[in-house]
Structure 1
Protein backbone atom coordinates (compact mmCIF):
# COMPACT_ATOMS: atom_id res chain seq x y z
CA UNK A 1 0.00 0.00 0.00
CA UNK A 2 1.17 3.61 -0.54
CA UNK A 3 3.32 5.24 2.10
CA UNK A 4 1.22 8.34 2.75
CA UNK A 5 3.38 9.35 5.71
CA UNK A 6 6.43 9.61 3.50
CA UNK A 7 4.47 11.44 0.81
CA UNK A 8 3.13 13.97 3.30
CA UNK A 9 6.55 14.43 4.93
CA UNK A 10 8.09 15.29 1.56
CA UNK A 11 5.32 17.79 0.81
CA UNK A 12 5.67 19.48 4.20
CA UNK A 13 9.37 19.96 3.56
CA UNK A 14 8.97 21.12 -0.03
CA UNK A 15 10.77 18.11 -1.48
CA UNK A 16 9.94 16.28 -4.69
CA UNK A 17 10.66 12.61 -5.40
CA UNK A 18 13.28 13.72 -7.92
CA UNK A 19 15.05 15.85 -5.33
CA UNK A 20 14.95 13.02 -2.79
CA UNK A 21 16.32 10.60 -5.37
CA UNK A 22 19.22 12.94 -6.13
CA UNK A 23 19.99 13.35 -2.43
CA UNK A 24 19.91 9.59 -1.84
CA UNK A 25 21.81 8.73 -5.03
CA UNK A 26 19.03 6.47 -6.34
CA UNK A 27 16.81 6.39 -9.41
CA UNK A 28 13.64 8.53 -9.17
CA UNK A 29 11.62 5.41 -9.96
CA UNK A 30 12.98 3.87 -6.76
CA UNK A 31 11.62 6.79 -4.75
CA UNK A 32 8.28 6.46 -6.53
CA UNK A 33 8.12 2.83 -5.43
CA UNK A 34 8.91 3.86 -1.85
CA UNK A 35 5.91 6.18 -1.99
CA UNK A 36 3.32 4.53 -4.23
CA UNK A 37 4.02 0.88 -3.45
CA UNK A 38 5.16 1.23 0.12
CA UNK A 39 8.55 -0.36 -0.55
CA UNK A 40 10.96 -0.09 2.38
CA UNK A 41 14.30 1.65 1.67
CA UNK A 42 17.59 0.25 2.89
CA UNK A 43 18.50 1.21 6.43
CA UNK A 44 21.10 3.79 5.37
CA UNK A 45 18.47 5.48 3.22
CA UNK A 46 15.85 5.38 5.98
CA UNK A 47 18.18 7.20 8.37
CA UNK A 48 19.02 9.88 5.79
CA UNK A 49 15.40 10.40 4.69
CA UNK A 50 14.16 10.65 8.28
CA UNK A 51 16.75 13.36 8.95
CA UNK A 52 15.82 15.26 5.79
CA UNK A 53 12.09 15.35 6.51
CA UNK A 54 12.48 15.73 10.29
CA UNK A 55 10.48 12.66 11.16
CA UNK A 56 11.43 9.49 12.96
CA UNK A 57 12.32 6.37 11.05
CA UNK A 58 9.73 4.44 13.03
CA UNK A 59 7.01 6.93 12.07
CA UNK A 60 7.77 6.72 8.35
CA UNK A 61 8.22 2.93 8.29
CA UNK A 62 6.51 1.44 11.39
CA UNK A 63 7.24 -2.15 10.39
CA UNK A 64 10.85 -1.65 9.32
CA UNK A 65 12.40 -1.53 12.79
CA UNK A 66 12.37 -4.75 14.80
CA UNK A 67 10.41 -4.53 18.09
CA UNK A 68 13.45 -5.43 20.15
CA UNK A 69 15.41 -2.63 18.47
CA UNK A 70 12.61 -0.15 19.17
CA UNK A 71 12.73 -1.18 22.83
CA UNK A 72 16.49 -0.61 22.94
CA UNK A 73 16.21 2.82 21.33
CA UNK A 74 13.44 3.81 23.75
CA UNK A 75 15.92 3.53 26.60
CA UNK A 76 18.19 5.98 24.81
CA UNK A 77 15.28 8.38 24.27
CA UNK A 78 15.00 8.86 28.03
CA UNK A 79 17.51 11.56 28.94
CA UNK A 80 16.49 12.00 32.57
CA UNK A 81 13.80 10.90 35.00
CA UNK A 82 12.81 13.41 37.66
CA UNK A 83 10.90 12.08 40.69
CA UNK A 84 8.86 15.30 40.86
CA UNK A 85 8.24 18.19 38.51
CA UNK A 86 9.44 20.61 41.17
CA UNK A 87 12.81 18.81 41.18
CA UNK A 88 13.56 19.89 37.60
CA UNK A 89 16.28 22.58 37.79
CA UNK A 90 15.00 25.95 36.60
CA UNK A 91 17.86 26.21 34.13
CA UNK A 92 16.51 23.14 32.29
CA UNK A 93 13.25 24.95 31.52
CA UNK A 94 15.17 28.09 30.56
CA UNK A 95 17.51 26.20 28.26
CA UNK A 96 14.72 24.29 26.52
CA UNK A 97 12.68 27.43 25.87
CA UNK A 98 15.74 29.40 24.74
CA UNK A 99 17.07 26.71 22.40
CA UNK A 100 13.79 25.99 20.59
CA UNK A 101 14.07 27.11 16.97
CA UNK A 102 11.20 25.27 15.27
CA UNK A 103 8.34 24.44 17.61
CA UNK A 104 7.06 24.73 21.15
CA UNK A 105 4.02 22.69 22.16
CA UNK A 106 2.30 22.72 25.55
CA UNK A 107 -0.52 20.49 26.79
CA UNK A 108 -1.86 21.37 30.24
CA UNK A 109 -4.97 22.00 32.27
CA UNK A 110 -3.57 25.16 33.84
CA UNK A 111 0.23 24.92 34.21
CA UNK A 112 0.23 27.74 36.73
CA UNK A 113 3.92 27.26 37.48
CA UNK A 114 4.59 28.63 33.99
CA UNK A 115 2.35 31.64 34.45
CA UNK A 116 4.34 32.55 37.55
CA UNK A 117 7.06 33.70 35.16
CA UNK A 118 6.02 37.16 33.86
CA UNK A 119 8.80 37.07 31.25
CA UNK A 120 7.36 33.99 29.54
CA UNK A 121 4.90 35.87 27.33
CA UNK A 122 7.66 38.19 26.13
CA UNK A 123 9.88 35.18 25.37
CA UNK A 124 7.13 33.37 23.46
CA UNK A 125 6.34 36.50 21.48
CA UNK A 126 10.01 36.79 20.56
CA UNK A 127 10.15 33.12 19.58
CA UNK A 128 7.04 33.45 17.40
CA UNK A 129 8.50 36.49 15.65
CA UNK A 130 11.62 34.40 14.94
CA UNK A 131 9.47 31.77 13.20
CA UNK A 132 8.99 29.24 16.00
CA UNK A 133 5.59 27.53 15.73
CA UNK A 134 3.87 27.66 19.12
CA UNK A 135 0.79 25.62 20.00
CA UNK A 136 -0.77 25.81 23.46
CA UNK A 137 -3.53 23.52 24.77
CA UNK A 138 -5.21 24.68 27.98
CA UNK A 139 -7.95 22.82 29.83
CA UNK A 140 -11.49 23.96 29.08
CA UNK A 141 -12.66 25.60 32.34
CA UNK A 142 -16.23 24.48 31.60
CA UNK A 143 -15.35 20.84 30.96
CA UNK A 144 -16.29 18.02 33.31
CA UNK A 145 -12.81 16.52 33.13
CA UNK A 146 -11.09 19.62 34.50
CA UNK A 147 -13.48 19.78 37.46
CA UNK A 148 -13.06 16.05 38.04
CA UNK A 149 -9.27 16.34 38.06
CA UNK A 150 -9.55 19.13 40.60
CA UNK A 151 -11.48 16.83 42.95
CA UNK A 152 -9.01 13.99 42.33
CA UNK A 153 -6.22 16.23 43.56
CA UNK A 154 -8.13 16.84 46.77
CA UNK A 155 -9.18 20.35 45.76
CA UNK A 156 -12.55 21.98 45.45
CA UNK A 157 -14.11 21.20 42.06
CA UNK A 158 -14.00 24.88 41.17
CA UNK A 159 -10.29 25.32 41.91
CA UNK A 160 -8.70 23.85 38.78
CA UNK A 161 -11.30 25.38 36.42
CA UNK A 162 -10.44 28.75 37.96
CA UNK A 163 -6.75 28.10 37.39
CA UNK A 164 -7.48 27.17 33.76
CA UNK A 165 -9.32 30.47 33.30
CA UNK A 166 -6.36 32.31 34.78
CA UNK A 167 -4.02 30.49 32.40
CA UNK A 168 -6.12 31.59 29.44
CA UNK A 169 -5.95 35.19 30.65
CA UNK A 170 -2.18 34.82 30.89
CA UNK A 171 -1.82 33.51 27.31
CA UNK A 172 -4.39 35.87 25.76
CA UNK A 173 -1.74 38.46 24.71
CA UNK A 174 -0.35 35.83 22.34
CA UNK A 175 -3.69 35.27 20.62
CA UNK A 176 -3.68 36.39 17.02
CA UNK A 177 0.11 36.50 16.70
CA UNK A 178 1.61 34.84 13.66
CA UNK A 179 2.95 31.35 14.44
CA UNK A 180 0.89 31.08 17.66
CA UNK A 181 -2.24 28.96 18.12
CA UNK A 182 -4.17 28.49 21.35
CA UNK A 183 -6.94 25.96 21.94
CA UNK A 184 -8.88 24.57 24.89
CA UNK A 185 -9.57 20.88 25.47
CA UNK A 186 -11.77 18.74 27.67
CA UNK A 187 -9.88 15.47 27.42
CA UNK A 188 -8.64 13.33 30.28
CA UNK A 189 -5.13 14.64 30.89
CA UNK A 190 -3.06 11.51 31.37
CA UNK A 191 0.14 13.55 31.04
CA UNK A 192 1.05 17.19 30.69
CA UNK A 193 3.38 17.63 27.72
CA UNK A 194 6.00 20.28 27.00
CA UNK A 195 7.77 19.92 23.67
CA UNK A 196 10.74 22.00 22.53
CA UNK A 197 11.86 20.86 19.06
CA UNK A 198 13.31 17.39 19.62
CA UNK A 199 13.10 17.50 23.42
CA UNK A 200 9.99 16.80 25.47
CA UNK A 201 9.14 16.88 29.15
CA UNK A 202 6.36 14.42 30.01
CA UNK A 203 4.79 15.26 33.37
CA UNK A 204 2.95 12.10 34.38
CA UNK A 205 -0.21 12.42 36.47
CA UNK A 206 -0.76 10.46 39.67
CA UNK A 207 -4.18 10.03 41.27
CA UNK A 208 -4.51 12.00 44.49
CA UNK A 209 -1.51 14.24 43.86
CA UNK A 210 -0.92 17.48 42.03
CA UNK A 211 1.20 17.51 38.88
CA UNK A 212 4.05 19.26 40.69
CA UNK A 213 4.82 16.17 42.77
CA UNK A 214 4.39 13.64 39.95
CA UNK A 215 7.36 12.18 38.01
CA UNK A 216 8.64 13.75 34.79
CA UNK A 217 10.41 12.10 31.86
CA UNK A 218 12.84 14.14 29.78
CA UNK A 219 12.79 12.60 26.29
CA UNK A 220 14.84 13.31 23.20
CA UNK A 221 13.57 12.21 19.83
CA UNK A 222 15.63 9.57 18.00
CA UNK A 223 15.15 8.45 14.43
CA UNK A 224 14.45 4.79 15.18
CA UNK A 225 12.62 5.51 18.44
CA UNK A 226 8.97 5.13 19.27
CA UNK A 227 8.56 6.59 22.77
CA UNK A 228 8.82 10.28 21.84
CA UNK A 229 6.61 9.67 18.81
CA UNK A 230 3.89 8.09 20.94
CA UNK A 231 3.54 11.21 23.08
CA UNK A 232 3.78 13.43 20.01
CA UNK A 233 0.89 11.61 18.35
CA UNK A 234 -1.07 11.85 21.59
CA UNK A 235 -0.62 15.63 21.47
CA UNK A 236 -1.97 15.68 17.92
CA UNK A 237 -5.03 13.70 18.96
CA UNK A 238 -5.85 16.20 21.70
CA UNK A 239 -5.14 19.14 19.38
CA UNK A 240 -7.49 17.83 16.71
CA UNK A 241 -10.30 17.45 19.25
CA UNK A 242 -9.72 20.89 20.82
CA UNK A 243 -11.36 24.21 19.94
CA UNK A 244 -10.44 27.91 20.05
CA UNK A 245 -11.27 29.62 23.34
CA UNK A 246 -14.08 32.16 23.57
CA UNK A 247 -12.10 35.08 24.88
Structure 2
Protein backbone atom coordinates (compact mmCIF):
# COMPACT_ATOMS: atom_id res chain seq x y z
CA UNK A 1 0.00 0.00 0.00
CA UNK A 2 1.32 3.43 -0.98
CA UNK A 3 0.59 6.92 0.28
CA UNK A 4 -0.70 8.39 -2.99
CA UNK A 5 -1.66 11.70 -1.40
CA UNK A 6 1.90 12.21 -0.16
CA UNK A 7 3.34 11.17 -3.52
CA UNK A 8 1.10 13.67 -5.34
CA UNK A 9 1.95 16.49 -2.93
CA UNK A 10 5.67 15.89 -3.38
CA UNK A 11 5.35 15.72 -7.15
CA UNK A 12 3.30 18.93 -7.25
CA UNK A 13 5.97 20.79 -5.29
CA UNK A 14 8.94 19.23 -7.06
CA UNK A 15 10.13 17.48 -3.90
CA UNK A 16 12.36 14.41 -4.08
CA UNK A 17 12.64 11.99 -1.19
CA UNK A 18 16.17 13.24 -0.55
CA UNK A 19 15.13 16.90 -0.56
CA UNK A 20 12.20 16.37 1.82
CA UNK A 21 14.37 14.21 4.06
CA UNK A 22 16.95 16.97 4.28
CA UNK A 23 14.25 19.53 5.07
CA UNK A 24 12.84 17.56 8.01
CA UNK A 25 16.18 16.03 9.01
CA UNK A 26 15.49 12.33 8.52
CA UNK A 27 17.08 9.61 6.40
CA UNK A 28 15.89 9.59 2.75
CA UNK A 29 14.93 5.93 3.18
CA UNK A 30 12.43 7.01 5.82
CA UNK A 31 10.69 9.29 3.32
CA UNK A 32 10.72 6.46 0.75
CA UNK A 33 8.92 4.27 3.29
CA UNK A 34 6.36 7.02 3.95
CA UNK A 35 5.55 7.07 0.24
CA UNK A 36 5.95 3.46 -0.88
CA UNK A 37 4.87 1.60 2.25
CA UNK A 38 2.47 4.18 3.71
CA UNK A 39 4.50 4.34 6.91
CA UNK A 40 3.45 7.08 9.34
CA UNK A 41 6.22 9.33 10.72
CA UNK A 42 6.35 10.69 14.22
CA UNK A 43 3.88 13.50 14.76
CA UNK A 44 6.51 16.23 15.06
CA UNK A 45 8.27 15.06 11.89
CA UNK A 46 4.96 14.74 10.04
CA UNK A 47 4.03 18.30 10.94
CA UNK A 48 7.33 19.61 9.60
CA UNK A 49 6.89 17.66 6.37
CA UNK A 50 3.29 18.82 5.93
CA UNK A 51 4.34 22.44 6.48
CA UNK A 52 7.08 22.10 3.86
CA UNK A 53 4.62 20.59 1.37
CA UNK A 54 1.87 23.11 2.15
CA UNK A 55 -0.55 20.31 3.05
CA UNK A 56 -2.77 19.42 6.00
CA UNK A 57 -0.91 16.88 8.13
CA UNK A 58 -4.06 14.81 8.70
CA UNK A 59 -4.82 14.71 4.97
CA UNK A 60 -1.36 13.22 4.40
CA UNK A 61 -1.48 10.88 7.40
CA UNK A 62 -5.05 10.35 8.69
CA UNK A 63 -3.75 7.91 11.30
CA UNK A 64 -2.30 10.84 13.25
CA UNK A 65 -5.85 11.72 14.30
CA UNK A 66 -6.12 8.46 16.22
CA UNK A 67 -7.16 8.35 19.84
CA UNK A 68 -4.18 6.77 21.59
CA UNK A 69 -6.26 5.04 24.24
CA UNK A 70 -8.44 3.49 21.56
CA UNK A 71 -5.36 2.36 19.61
CA UNK A 72 -4.19 0.57 22.74
CA UNK A 73 -7.48 -1.31 22.82
CA UNK A 74 -7.60 -2.22 19.11
CA UNK A 75 -4.75 -2.39 16.58
CA UNK A 76 -7.36 -1.94 13.83
CA UNK A 77 -8.24 1.66 14.72
CA UNK A 78 -6.21 4.06 12.58
CA UNK A 79 -8.15 7.23 13.33
CA UNK A 80 -11.28 8.48 15.07
CA UNK A 81 -13.14 11.56 13.81
CA UNK A 82 -15.61 13.44 15.98
CA UNK A 83 -18.03 13.69 13.05
CA UNK A 84 -18.13 12.85 9.36
CA UNK A 85 -17.93 16.54 8.51
CA UNK A 86 -14.37 16.48 9.89
CA UNK A 87 -13.24 13.82 7.41
CA UNK A 88 -11.59 15.42 4.34
CA UNK A 89 -13.23 14.03 1.21
CA UNK A 90 -9.70 13.38 -0.04
CA UNK A 91 -9.31 10.74 2.69
CA UNK A 92 -12.20 8.79 1.18
CA UNK A 93 -11.30 9.31 -2.47
CA UNK A 94 -7.61 8.56 -1.91
CA UNK A 95 -8.57 5.38 -0.11
CA UNK A 96 -10.81 4.33 -3.02
CA UNK A 97 -8.15 5.25 -5.57
CA UNK A 98 -5.67 2.93 -3.86
CA UNK A 99 -8.04 -0.07 -3.89
CA UNK A 100 -6.86 -2.98 -6.02
CA UNK A 101 -9.27 -5.78 -5.12
CA UNK A 102 -12.47 -4.51 -3.55
CA UNK A 103 -14.55 -1.39 -3.01
CA UNK A 104 -17.75 -1.68 -0.97
CA UNK A 105 -20.04 1.24 -0.14
CA UNK A 106 -23.10 0.84 2.09
CA UNK A 107 -25.15 4.00 2.71
CA UNK A 108 -28.62 5.43 2.59
CA UNK A 109 -27.56 8.27 0.28
CA UNK A 110 -24.16 9.92 1.01
CA UNK A 111 -24.71 12.40 -1.81
CA UNK A 112 -21.92 14.51 -0.33
CA UNK A 113 -19.42 12.28 -2.16
CA UNK A 114 -20.64 13.14 -5.64
CA UNK A 115 -21.15 16.77 -4.68
CA UNK A 116 -17.63 17.17 -3.29
CA UNK A 117 -15.95 14.88 -5.83
CA UNK A 118 -17.76 14.96 -9.20
CA UNK A 119 -15.30 12.42 -10.66
CA UNK A 120 -16.47 9.69 -8.30
CA UNK A 121 -18.14 7.62 -11.05
CA UNK A 122 -15.07 7.96 -13.24
CA UNK A 123 -12.88 6.84 -10.34
CA UNK A 124 -15.04 3.77 -9.75
CA UNK A 125 -14.98 2.90 -13.45
CA UNK A 126 -11.18 3.24 -13.46
CA UNK A 127 -10.78 0.97 -10.47
CA UNK A 128 -13.17 -1.62 -11.97
CA UNK A 129 -11.25 -1.51 -15.28
CA UNK A 130 -8.13 -2.44 -13.31
CA UNK A 131 -9.87 -5.52 -11.89
CA UNK A 132 -11.20 -4.09 -8.64
CA UNK A 133 -14.70 -5.33 -7.76
CA UNK A 134 -17.06 -2.47 -6.89
CA UNK A 135 -20.31 -2.88 -4.94
CA UNK A 136 -22.50 0.07 -3.94
CA UNK A 137 -25.67 -0.33 -1.87
CA UNK A 138 -27.89 2.73 -1.41
CA UNK A 139 -31.17 3.15 0.40
CA UNK A 140 -34.50 2.30 -1.22
CA UNK A 141 -36.37 5.60 -0.99
CA UNK A 142 -39.70 3.76 -0.75
CA UNK A 143 -38.72 1.47 2.13
CA UNK A 144 -40.18 1.94 5.58
CA UNK A 145 -36.74 1.94 7.21
CA UNK A 146 -35.61 4.89 5.10
CA UNK A 147 -38.79 6.81 5.97
CA UNK A 148 -38.27 5.95 9.64
CA UNK A 149 -34.70 7.25 9.47
CA UNK A 150 -36.06 10.52 8.08
CA UNK A 151 -38.44 10.83 11.02
CA UNK A 152 -35.63 10.12 13.47
CA UNK A 153 -33.36 12.73 11.85
CA UNK A 154 -36.24 15.22 11.93
CA UNK A 155 -35.54 15.84 8.24
CA UNK A 156 -38.95 14.54 7.18
CA UNK A 157 -38.87 13.40 3.56
CA UNK A 158 -35.38 14.81 3.07
CA UNK A 159 -33.63 11.46 3.30
CA UNK A 160 -36.01 9.94 0.75
CA UNK A 161 -35.12 12.72 -1.67
CA UNK A 162 -31.42 12.16 -1.01
CA UNK A 163 -31.80 8.43 -1.69
CA UNK A 164 -33.43 9.21 -5.04
CA UNK A 165 -30.67 11.68 -5.84
CA UNK A 166 -28.03 9.08 -4.93
CA UNK A 167 -29.71 6.62 -7.30
CA UNK A 168 -29.54 9.23 -10.06
CA UNK A 169 -25.81 9.65 -9.39
CA UNK A 170 -25.01 5.93 -9.37
CA UNK A 171 -27.42 4.65 -12.04
CA UNK A 172 -25.02 5.44 -14.93
CA UNK A 173 -22.73 2.80 -13.41
CA UNK A 174 -25.38 0.06 -13.56
CA UNK A 175 -24.23 -2.61 -15.95
CA UNK A 176 -20.64 -1.35 -16.11
CA UNK A 177 -18.14 -4.25 -16.05
CA UNK A 178 -17.00 -5.02 -12.52
CA UNK A 179 -19.54 -2.68 -10.88
CA UNK A 180 -22.78 -3.62 -9.13
CA UNK A 181 -25.32 -1.12 -7.80
CA UNK A 182 -28.15 -2.23 -5.52
CA UNK A 183 -30.81 -0.65 -3.34
CA UNK A 184 -31.58 -1.91 0.16
CA UNK A 185 -34.33 -1.37 2.69
CA UNK A 186 -32.54 -2.47 5.85
CA UNK A 187 -32.18 -0.62 9.12
CA UNK A 188 -28.76 0.95 8.69
CA UNK A 189 -26.76 1.27 11.88
CA UNK A 190 -23.59 2.43 10.11
CA UNK A 191 -22.55 3.73 6.72
CA UNK A 192 -19.55 1.79 5.41
CA UNK A 193 -16.85 2.80 2.93
CA UNK A 194 -14.42 -0.04 2.28
CA UNK A 195 -11.31 -0.14 0.07
CA UNK A 196 -9.43 -3.44 0.35
CA UNK A 197 -8.21 -3.61 3.96
CA UNK A 198 -9.25 -0.09 4.94
CA UNK A 199 -12.72 0.97 5.99
CA UNK A 200 -14.46 4.11 7.20
CA UNK A 201 -17.37 3.40 9.53
CA UNK A 202 -19.75 6.34 9.92
CA UNK A 203 -21.79 5.45 12.98
CA UNK A 204 -25.46 6.44 13.05
CA UNK A 205 -26.79 8.28 16.09
CA UNK A 206 -30.52 8.54 16.77
CA UNK A 207 -31.80 12.01 15.92
CA UNK A 208 -28.64 13.16 14.13
CA UNK A 209 -27.80 13.35 10.45
CA UNK A 210 -24.87 11.11 9.53
CA UNK A 211 -22.57 14.07 8.88
CA UNK A 212 -22.73 14.91 12.61
CA UNK A 213 -21.92 11.36 13.77
CA UNK A 214 -18.46 9.88 14.50
CA UNK A 215 -16.33 8.01 11.97
CA UNK A 216 -13.89 5.20 12.68
CA UNK A 217 -11.04 4.62 10.23
CA UNK A 218 -10.19 0.94 10.42
CA UNK A 219 -7.41 -1.16 8.94
CA UNK A 220 -7.75 -4.93 8.95
CA UNK A 221 -5.33 -6.56 11.38
CA UNK A 222 -4.61 -10.24 11.88
CA UNK A 223 -5.33 -9.92 15.60
CA UNK A 224 -8.49 -7.84 15.20
CA UNK A 225 -12.15 -8.68 14.70
CA UNK A 226 -13.80 -5.29 14.19
CA UNK A 227 -13.04 -4.90 10.48
CA UNK A 228 -14.34 -8.36 9.62
CA UNK A 229 -17.51 -7.81 11.66
CA UNK A 230 -18.40 -4.78 9.54
CA UNK A 231 -17.37 -6.55 6.33
CA UNK A 232 -19.74 -9.40 7.18
CA UNK A 233 -22.46 -6.86 7.93
CA UNK A 234 -22.04 -5.44 4.44
CA UNK A 235 -22.34 -8.90 2.90
CA UNK A 236 -25.52 -9.59 4.88
CA UNK A 237 -27.18 -6.39 3.66
CA UNK A 238 -25.93 -6.97 0.11
CA UNK A 239 -27.61 -10.37 0.02
CA UNK A 240 -31.00 -8.71 0.67
CA UNK A 241 -30.51 -5.81 -1.77
CA UNK A 242 -32.14 -5.38 -5.19
CA UNK A 243 -29.96 -4.87 -8.30
CA UNK A 244 -30.33 -1.57 -10.14
CA UNK A 245 -30.90 -2.17 -13.84
CA UNK A 246 -29.61 -0.14 -16.76
CA UNK A 247 -32.09 2.35 -18.15
| SS across alignment from 1:207 | coil
**1:181-220 deviation digits (Å, cap 9, x = unpaired):** 1111110000000000000000000111100010000000
- In angstroms, what is the RMSD of aligned CA positions? 1.7
Q: Aligned residue for 1:180?
A: 179
Give the direction of change, closer, same or farther, for the CA distance of 1:217–1:129 in structure 2 (3 Å limit).
Answer: same
Q: Aligned residue for 1:76?
A: 75
| SS across alignment from 1:192 | strand
Q: Aligned residue for 2:85?
A: 86
CA contact (8 A) 1:107 1:192 kept: yes
| SS across alignment from 2:199 | strand
| SS across alignment from 1:184 | strand
**1:168-187 deviation digits (Å, cap 9, x = unpaired):** 11011111011101111110
Q: Aligned residue for 1:204?
A: 203
| SS across alignment from 2:180 | strand
Calculate the TM-score normalised by the size of structure 1: 0.68
1:105 is aligned to 2:116: no
**Structure 2 unaligned spans of 5+:** 1-69
**1:142-178 deviation digits (Å, cap 9, x = unpaired):** 100001101111111x221111111011011111011
Calculate the TM-score normalised by the size of structure 2: 0.68
Q: CA deviation at 1:74?
A: 6.1
What is the CA–CA distance in structure 2 between the aligned matches of 1:86 and 1:75, rounded to whole Å? 24
| SS across alignment from 1:76 | coil
Q: CA deviation at 1:72?
A: 9.1
**1:4-52 deviation digits (Å, cap 9, x = unpaired):** xxxxxxxxxxxxxxxxxxxxxxxxxxxxxxxxxxxxxxxxxxxxxxxxx
What is the CA–CA distance in structure 2 between the aligned matches of 1:233 and 1:73, rounded to whole Å? 24
Higher-RCO chain (CA-CA 8 Å, sequence separation at least 6): 1
CA contact (8 A) 1:74 1:225 kept: no
CA contact (8 A) 1:73 1:224 kept: no
Q: Mean alpha-carbon deviation: is it higher for 87-96 or for 105-114?
A: 87-96
| SS across alignment from 1:155 | coil
Give the direction of change, closer, same or farther, for the CA distance of 1:74–1:245 in structure 2 (3 Å limit).
Answer: farther
Structure 1 moving runs of 4+ over 3 Å: 71-74
**1:54-108 deviation digits (Å, cap 9, x = unpaired):** xxxxxxxxxxxxxxxxx99961100111000010123312320211111110000
